[in-house]
């Protein structure tokens, strides 16, 4: 066969030049970028350039040297959007902080994040709630959405939510004495016990520090849940912090899919896509219950303390010395779930913690989280989490280098 110049050019695969404009990344951002790079390499028809490493600039975009852009921070690139519009370069925003109508947006569903936090605290019997987010002067779309999701869910359930309003006007002021004194004053005047939701893990860490200073018990008087699951922060804290992980890997995978469709079609606009968060990682900062029934709380504590081994309802009855019918009725009325479901839930929560924080093989995690067999482990885990233990570990842990 004779290969002509025409047939050779047709057989050559086009390489799409993708520029990543990202800031210093949190856990979510790192996961998203890792998945973008992995997916690009897997496709084989993309090249990736990182602005943070000076591999690409706004001037390169203006010169027509990029085919598409993924960005997570507009504040450092004020002119980039206008350049992209002029050059007709498609853009996908993964920041969760944009509300532009003429670009692609794929981001965490931050309202759902707030809803999940509210539902979590309600399920643990709390009647008082509080939110610690960003000050008005430096508010973000994602921070506001988390607050709205949390407060609206509580309001629909018949509860009010206290909100900390800081006078800070810049990020660096959040470390200053005047801000921390105002936060401390707000905290000590909250009704207790109270479920406190913070928009990022760092704010939860600050609350735990101030609680120790004022001799406030956590968990107990305060229960604290945060967002992003930056493991080093959550595990360094005392007590360790419960947190809602964002699904950065799914955002990254869908971001490059969206950008590829836009680059191939020439379209600059596409419907926005929101990605639901991963299940809450339960740790010590919320390891308490606020129900008014001592037997119900006793059952919950027994289940929690023995989640590492098989538990039956009979074990709980023997421990509390109470009738089965009475306990099951009161338990369902207050918690909204059955005793058996709570037992399964406790086993699943412990297995999630082991999957995330240890390198134990699956058979060991199954054994150490109280499941009687691998088959039961897989079925129950999927029912509560919506995915298999293996997939959950892959999506929530850093990939091996």
The dihedrals phi and psi of 91, each to the nearest 5 degrees, come to -130, 135
According to the model, what pLDDT value does residue 144 have? 93
Tell me the per-residue pLDDT of 132-180, one tens digit each, with 9 for 90 and over.
999 888 888 899 999 999 999 999 999 999 999 888 888 888 888 888 8
**Coil, helix or strand at residue 91:** strand
According to the model, what pLDDT value does residue 101 have? 65
| Predicted model pTM | 0.81
The closest alpha carbon to 350, from 384, 400, 386, 387, belongs to 384
Burial (CB count within 10 angstroms: exposed 0-12, middle 13-18, buried 19+), residue 200: buried
Confidence of residue 6 (pLDDT cuts 50, 70, 90): very low
| Residues 355-361, mean pLDDT to the nearest whole number | 87
* Full set of structural domains in the chain with CATH: 5-109+248-275 (3.40.50.2300), 110-246+281-285 (3.40.50.2300), 292-396 (1.10.10.60)
More confident position, 30 or 395: 30
Number of other CB atoms surrounding residue 315 within 10 Å = 15
**Coil, helix or strand at residue 382:** helix
> Quick check: 120 and 280 in contact, CB under 8 A?
yes
According to the model, what pLDDT value does residue 382 have? 92
> Quick check: 327 and 295 in contact, CB under 8 A?
yes
According to the model, what pLDDT value does residue 220 have? 86
88-to-57, 68, 323 alpha-carbon distances in Å: 16, 9, 71
Tell me the per-residue pLDDT of 24-62, one tens digit each, with 9 for 90 and over.
677 888 889 999 999 888 888 888 999 888 899 999 999
Tell me the per-residue pLDDT of 297-306, one tens digit each, with 9 for 90 and over.
899 989 989 9
| Residues 210-227, mean pLDDT to the nearest whole number | 94
How is residue 9 written in tokens?
């050019």
- Report strand pairing: 242-244 vs 222-227: parallel
pLDDT tops 60 at residue 327: yes
Q: Inter-axis angle of helices 324-335 and 339-357, to 10 degrees?
A: 60
Paired with 105 in beta bridges are 93
According to the model, what pLDDT value does residue 5 have? 46
pLDDT tops 90 at residue 73: no
Tell me the per-residue pLDDT of 87-100, one tens digit each, with 9 for 90 and over.
999 999 998 776 66
According to the model, what pLDDT value does residue 79 have? 85
Tell me the per-residue pLDDT of 103-130, one tens digit each, with 9 for 90 and over.
888 989 999 999 999 999 998 999 999 9
The span from the CA of 166 to the CA of 173, in Å, is 10
Q: Which residues contact 191 (CB under 8 A, 6 or more apart)?
A: 128
Average pLDDT, the chain: 88
pLDDT tops 50 at residue 2: no
According to the model, what pLDDT value does residue 368 have? 94
The fraction of the chain above a pLDDT of 70, given in percent, is 94
């Amino acid at each position: 066969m004779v290969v002509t110049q025409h047939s050779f050019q047709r057989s050559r695969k086009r390489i799409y030049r993708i520029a990543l404009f990202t800031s210093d990344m949190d856990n979510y951002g790192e996961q998203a970028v890792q998945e973008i790079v992995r997916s690009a390499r897997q496709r084989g028809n993309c090249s990736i350039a990182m602005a943070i490493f000076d591999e690409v600039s706004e001037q390169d975009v203006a010169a027509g040297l990029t085919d598409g852009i993924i960005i997570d921070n507009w504040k450092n690139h004020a002119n980039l959007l206008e350049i992209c519009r002029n050059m007709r370069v498609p853009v996908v925003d993964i920041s969760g902080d944009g509300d532009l109508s003429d670009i692609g947006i794929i981001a965490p569903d931050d309202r759902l994040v707030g809803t999940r936090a509210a539902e979590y605290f309600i399920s643990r019997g709390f009647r008082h709630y509080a939110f610690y987010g960003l000050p008005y002067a430096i508010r973000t779309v994602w921070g506001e959405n988390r607050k709205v999701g949390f407060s609206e869910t509580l309001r629909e359930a018949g509860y009010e939510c206290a909100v900390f309003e800081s006078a800070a006007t810049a990020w660096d002021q959040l470390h200053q004495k005047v801000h921390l004194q105002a936060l401390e004053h707000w905290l000590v005047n909250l009704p207790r016990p109270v479920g406190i939701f913070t928009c990022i893990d760092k704010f939860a860490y600050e609350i735990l520090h101030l609680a120790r200073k004022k001799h406030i018990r956590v968990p107990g008087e305060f229960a604290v849940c945060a967002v992003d699951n930056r493991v080093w922060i959550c595990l360094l804290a005392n007590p360790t912090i419960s947190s809602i992980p964002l699904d950065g890997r799914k955002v990254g995978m869908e971001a490059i899919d969206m950008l590829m469709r836009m680059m191939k079609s020439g379209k600059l606009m596409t419907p926005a896509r929101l990605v639901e968060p991963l299940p809450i990682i339960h740790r010590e900062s919320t390891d308490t219950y606020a129900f008014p029934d001592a037997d119900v709380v006793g059952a919950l504590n027994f289940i929690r303390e023995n989640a590492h081994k098989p538990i039956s309802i009979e074990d709980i009855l023997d421990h509390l010395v109470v009738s089965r019918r009475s306990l099951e009725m009161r338990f369902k009325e207050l918690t909204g779930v059955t005793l058996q479901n709570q037992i399964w839930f406790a086993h699943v929560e412990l297995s999630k913690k082991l999957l995330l924080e240890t390198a134990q093989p699956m058979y060991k995690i199954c054994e150490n989280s109280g499941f009687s067999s691998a088959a039961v482990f897989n079925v129950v885990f999927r029912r509560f989490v919506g995915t298999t233990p293996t997939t959950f570990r892959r999506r929530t842990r850093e990939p091996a280098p």
